[in-house]
């Protein structure tokens, strides 16, 4: 006994002494400080019983064995018989009958992957029960209990059950096979294809743990700008090795499929979806995949978009293309996620295109096809109205796509907590089936009773030690998973959970939460206030370039989006302009149609208004624009102060890292403000109000900055 105690003490000291490099993210399992709560946990959990022995239950056991002794700083042995303080983690079917009858009522209410946490008495012993219909539910329950302990909540009278609202909760990796990550700001891809399938990096297992801990249950391994090589027999073995590693954690593997693969690796002369040889090729490919990966999830496809091949090259529709792949996967239960991210340089307004191309196809997709729709009509901007396609295809299950990697939100250097962005979109009412037709209700299938339900987040993960580059990028991965499981959770609660698990439960929590909660609005203010959008540098999308008008396509140019001229600024999308607003339901149109009533935050999305336009604040548009840009810069400075105030609670390494990043963010916020206002001031011929900080450089200076090696491009 003495020896074990000593060993634990030693381990605890080593744990504390080891520098926190962020690798463990929200699963740090730091020792709970001595307190009555710690005493309670120690009384409450004295031993572990797991009935059953599947790979998933072994993962659950391992997690408990790692986490509990570390947090409780006392040995928590595996035991065979019930005693006071037994923690039981097992699927309902494996429980002894006495326990089964205690839990059966609640478990029946769960879906196949939900979990139940219950404090109860059995055979006169006080126990904690984690149970579910299936092993994966048990693993989710284990993570839920560990989250409670990490966030130092009472676990005395647990009676809590939870099932995910959305069935498929997916990460989309934009990882190329050479490990370059498109729009990646956290190093290269974690998938080391070269050493697969023989070498299984510990990172793959930890990746699975992190994802399972927040309920992510699917991952698309490769970039939507796909390389057909991943579908060759040699590479499928590598994919199978990843699938085998992730499977115990309930995570299914999917691939981005290149539509022209039958030509590129199948040596056919066409990829025409109605051609018999092409159909046979995909069927054979699906068969091969399922022999290696029996639970393969399916394909994600970007077709006829930004130069990717697709069915339109053969005068076929998106539905023809999607159905081709869907038919090949159907015998095995696989699905196709067909992306609606399409736009044509000839279109009058890029905003309108996905809707125009896809709504006529509603009803023509086979039953295992989902259409994947970006959250906004343009492209993952700091703020967008919800995509009008969401709600406009009632016969087709739609799957909203968010972007966790911060392509347009400060990339690798800006602290931006994106949960408020996700929530803003999920809570938006599309009115597509009357009031309360929220995007969330479309995603979870409740609005139109779709059985296939999913949500996707473009991953922000790379091989940097802390996974996401910016330490606060972890919060976006975390929040996405938590909201995918339960979109009714608040950003505050999710943020608080993340902070406490990541930085410990201490007096810094409220300050960090306040930094996070304001951060997205702050970014919108210093980048694209009042409904401006897509005014970042061409191609790499780093930094401001509202003057830019030389792209190969007009709809890649900022001037296309802000339309500033001597009269005013903004994109008229009302009936008098491009008419994009008419793609929404009348109730939504009403919100935005009148430039005097439209919320400031969407004003320039829908209206071209004069520089003198009177804003809700009483200021003119020009004054308001200056005011907002300034507010953004001040917001970053405020975050810097807040961070400095909590220095004593944060470990040195992390404190220093975030301080430096915030300093960079401040410089870049100033740059955004000064470059944009300098430029807009030459167009409006109005001066930046006296008393406001004035740009340090001339407009020409900002215009000549260029970034040939900006990351992720
Ligand atoms: C844009 C990115 C581009 C992606 C594209 C997509 O700039 O790299 O390939 O989206 O989603 O945001 O397909």
Tens-digit pLDDT profile for residues 582-598: 999 999 999 999 999 99
Q: Is the pLDDT of residue 40 over 90?
A: yes
Cα Rg for the chain, rounded, in angstroms?
26
For residue 408, the ligand 1 atom closest to its alpha carbon is: 12
pLDDT at residue 345, rounded to an integer: 78
Interval between CA 108 and ligand 1 midpoint (Å): 42
Q: Is the pLDDT of residue 418 over 50?
A: yes
CA atoms within 13 A on the CB side of 36: 2
**Binding site membership of 302 for ligand 1 (Cβ less than 6 Å):** yes
Question: What DSSP element (H or E) covers 207?
Answer: helix 202-214
pLDDT, tens only, 204-237: 999 999 999 999 999 999 999 999 999 999 999 9
Q: Is the pLDDT of residue 426 over 90?
A: yes
| CB 673 within 8 Å of CB 702 | no
CATH superfamily, domain at 25-162: Chitobiase/beta-hexosaminidase domain 2-like (3.30.379.10)
Q: How confident is the model at residue 343 (pLDDT cuts 50, 70, 90)?
A: confident
Residue nearest to atom 13 of ligand 1 (CA): 224
Closest CA to 246 of 111, 458, 55: 55
Interval between CA 224 and ligand 1 midpoint (Å): 8
pTM for the predicted model, two decimal places: 0.97
pLDDT at residue 613, rounded to an integer: 98
Q: How confident is the model at residue 1 (pLDDT cuts 50, 70, 90)?
A: very low
Q: Domain residues of the chain, as ranges?
A: 25-162, 168-492, 524-571+608-703
For residue 403, the ligand 1 atom closest to its alpha carbon is: 12
pLDDT at residue 16, rounded to an integer: 47
For residue 379, the ligand 1 atom closest to its alpha carbon is: 12
In what order do the strands lie in the sheet containing 125-132?
Answer: 47-49, 86-91, 125-132, 115-122, 159-162
Q: Tell me the C-alpha distance between 81 and 195, whole Å.
A: 44
pLDDT at residue 20, rounded to an integer: 85
To the nearest whole number, what is the mean pLDDT of the chain?
A: 96
Which residue out of 175, 182, 411 has the highest number of ligand 1 atoms within 8 Å of its CB and is therefore the one to mutate? 182
pLDDT at residue 60, rounded to an integer: 98
Question: What DSSP element (H or E) covers 586?
Answer: helix 586-592
Q: Is 609 helix (H, G, I), strand (E, B) or coil?
A: strand
pLDDT, tens only, 245-273: 999 999 999 999 999 999 999 999 999 99
385 exposure class (CB count in 10 Å sphere: 0-12, 13-18, 19+): buried
**Binding site membership of 341 for ligand 1 (Cβ less than 6 Å):** yes
pLDDT, tens only, 670-704: 999 999 999 999 999 999 999 999 999 999 999 99
CATH superfamily, domain at 168-492: Glycosidases (3.20.20.80)
Cα distances (Å, whole numbers) of residue 443 to 265, 299, 365, 402, 624: 35, 19, 17, 12, 36
Which residue out of 172, 173, 174, 300 has the highest number of ligand 1 atoms within 8 Å of its CB and is therefore the one to mutate? 174
111 exposure class (CB count in 10 Å sphere: 0-12, 13-18, 19+): middle
Q: What angle do CA 358, 360, 363 make, to 5 degrees?
A: 95
Q: Is the pLDDT of residue 470 over 90?
A: yes
Q: Is the pLDDT of residue 304 over 60?
A: yes
**Binding site membership of 183 for ligand 1 (Cβ less than 6 Å):** yes
pLDDT, tens only, 51-80: 999 999 999 999 999 999 999 999 999 999
pLDDT at residue 161, rounded to an integer: 97
Q: Kindly state the percentage of the chain with pLDDT values over 70.
A: 97
Structure token pair of residue 461:
């993960």
**Binding site membership of 407 for ligand 1 (Cβ less than 6 Å):** yes
Q: Is the pLDDT of residue 14 over 50?
A: no
| CB 440 within 8 Å of CB 426 | yes
596 exposure class (CB count in 10 Å sphere: 0-12, 13-18, 19+): exposed
Residue nearest to atom 9 of ligand 1 (CA): 225
Interval between CA 540 and ligand 1 midpoint (Å): 11
Q: Tell me the C-alpha distance between 265 and 182, whole Å.
A: 23
**Looking at the annotation, which residues are catalytic?**
306, 379, 407
pLDDT at residue 6, rounded to an integer: 53
Q: How confident is the model at residue 2 (pLDDT cuts 50, 70, 90)?
A: low
Contacts of 700 (CB under 8 A, 6+ apart): none
CATH superfamily, domain at 524-571+608-703: Alpha-glucuronidase, C-terminal domain (3.90.1330.10)
pLDDT, tens only, 585-631: 999 999 999 999 999 999 999 999 999 999 999 999 999 999 999 99
Contacts of 155 (CB under 8 A, 6+ apart): 40, 41, 44, 119, 128, 145, 148, 149
**Binding site membership of 182 for ligand 1 (Cβ less than 6 Å):** yes
Interval between CA 323 and ligand 1 midpoint (Å): 24
Interval between CA 437 and ligand 1 midpoint (Å): 28
């Amino acid at each position: 006994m003495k020896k074990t105690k000593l060993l634990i003490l030693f381990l605890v000291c080593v744990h504390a002494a080891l520098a926190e490099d962020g690798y463990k993210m929200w699963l740090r399992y730091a020792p709970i400080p001595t307190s009555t709560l710690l005493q309670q946990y120690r009384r409450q959990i004295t031993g572990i019983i797991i009935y059953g022995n599947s790979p998933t239950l072994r993962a659950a056991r391992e997690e408990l064995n790692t986490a509990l002794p570390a947090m409780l700083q006392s040995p928590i042995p595996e035991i065979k018989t019930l005693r006071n303080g037994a923690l039981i983690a097992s699927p309902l079917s494996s429980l002894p009958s006495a326990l089964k009858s205690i839990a059966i009522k609640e478990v029946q209410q769960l879906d196949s992957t939900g979990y139940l946490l219950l404090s109860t008495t059995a055979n006169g012993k006080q126990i904690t029960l984690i149970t579910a219909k299936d092993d994966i539910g048990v693993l989710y329950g284990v993570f839920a209990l560990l989250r409670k302990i990490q966030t130092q909540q009472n676990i005395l009278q647990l009676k809590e059950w939870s099932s995910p609202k959305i069935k498929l909760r997916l990460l989309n990796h934009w990882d190329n096979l050479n490990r370059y990550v498109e729009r990646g700001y956290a190093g290269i891809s974690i998938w080391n294809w070269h050493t697969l399938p023989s070498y299984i990096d510990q990172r793959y297992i930890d990746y699975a743990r992190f994802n399972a801990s927040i309920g992510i249950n699917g991952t698309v391994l490769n970039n939507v700008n796909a390389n057909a090589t991943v579908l060759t027999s040699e590479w499928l073995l590598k994919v199978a090795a990843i699938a085998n590693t992730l499977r115990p954690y309930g995570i299914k593997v999917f691939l981005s499929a290149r539509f022209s693969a039958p030509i590129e690796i199948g040596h056919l002369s066409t990829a025409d979806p109605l051609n018999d040889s092409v159909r046979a090729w995909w069927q054979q490919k699906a068969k091969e995949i399922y022999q290696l990966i029996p639970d393969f999830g399916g394909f994600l496809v970007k077709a006829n978009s930004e130069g990717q091949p697709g069915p339109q090259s053969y005068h076929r529709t998106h539905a023809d293309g999607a159905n081709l792949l869907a038919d090949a996967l159907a015998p095995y239960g696989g699905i196709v996620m067909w992306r609606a991210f399409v736009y044509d340089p000839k279109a009058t307004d890029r905003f309108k295109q996905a809707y125009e191309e896809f709504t006529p196809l509603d009803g023509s997709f086979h039953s295992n096809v989902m259409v994947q729709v970006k959250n906004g009509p343009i492209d993952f901007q700091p703020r967008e109205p919800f995509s009008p396609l969401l709600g406009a295809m009632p016969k087709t299950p739609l799957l909203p796509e968010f972007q966790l990697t911060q392509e347009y939100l400060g990339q690798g250097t800006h602290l931006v907590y994106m949960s408020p962005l996700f929530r803003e979109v999920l809570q938006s009412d599309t009115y597509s089936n009357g009031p309360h037709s929220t995007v969330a209700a479309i995603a979870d299938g409740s609005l139109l009773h779709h059985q296939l339900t999913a949500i996707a987040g473009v991953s922000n993960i790379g091989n940097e030690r802390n996974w996401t580059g910016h330490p606060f990028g972890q919060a976006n991965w975390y929040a996405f998973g938590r909201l995918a499981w339960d979109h009714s959770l608040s950003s505050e609660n999710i943020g608080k959970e993340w902070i406490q698990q990541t930085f410990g439960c201490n007096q810094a929590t409220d300050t960090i939460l306040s930094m996070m909660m304001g951060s997205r609005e702050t970014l919108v203010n210093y980048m694209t206030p009042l409904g401006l959008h897509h005014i970042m540098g061409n191609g790499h999308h780093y930094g401001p370039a509202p003057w830019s008008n030389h792209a190969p396509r007009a709809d890649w140019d900022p001037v296309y989006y802000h339309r500033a001229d001597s009269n005013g600024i903004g994109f008229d999308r009302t009936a008098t302009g491009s008419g994009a607003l008419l793609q929404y339901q009348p109730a939504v149109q009403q919100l935005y149609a009148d430039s005097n009533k439209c919320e400031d935050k969407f004003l320039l999305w829908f209206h071209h208004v004069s520089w003198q336009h009177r804003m809700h604040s009483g200021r003119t548009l020009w004054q308001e624009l200056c005011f907002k840009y300034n507010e953004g810069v001040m917001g970053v400075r405020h975050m810097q102060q807040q961070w400095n105030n909590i220095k004593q609670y944060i470990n040195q390494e992390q404190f220093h890292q975030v301080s430096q990043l915030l300093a960079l963010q401040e410089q870049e916020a100033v740059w955004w403000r000064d470059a944009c206002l300098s430029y807009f001031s030459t167009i409006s011929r109005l001066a930046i109000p006296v008393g406001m900080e004035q740009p340090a450089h001339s407009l020409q200076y900002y215009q000549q900055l260029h970034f040939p090696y900006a990351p992720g491009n």
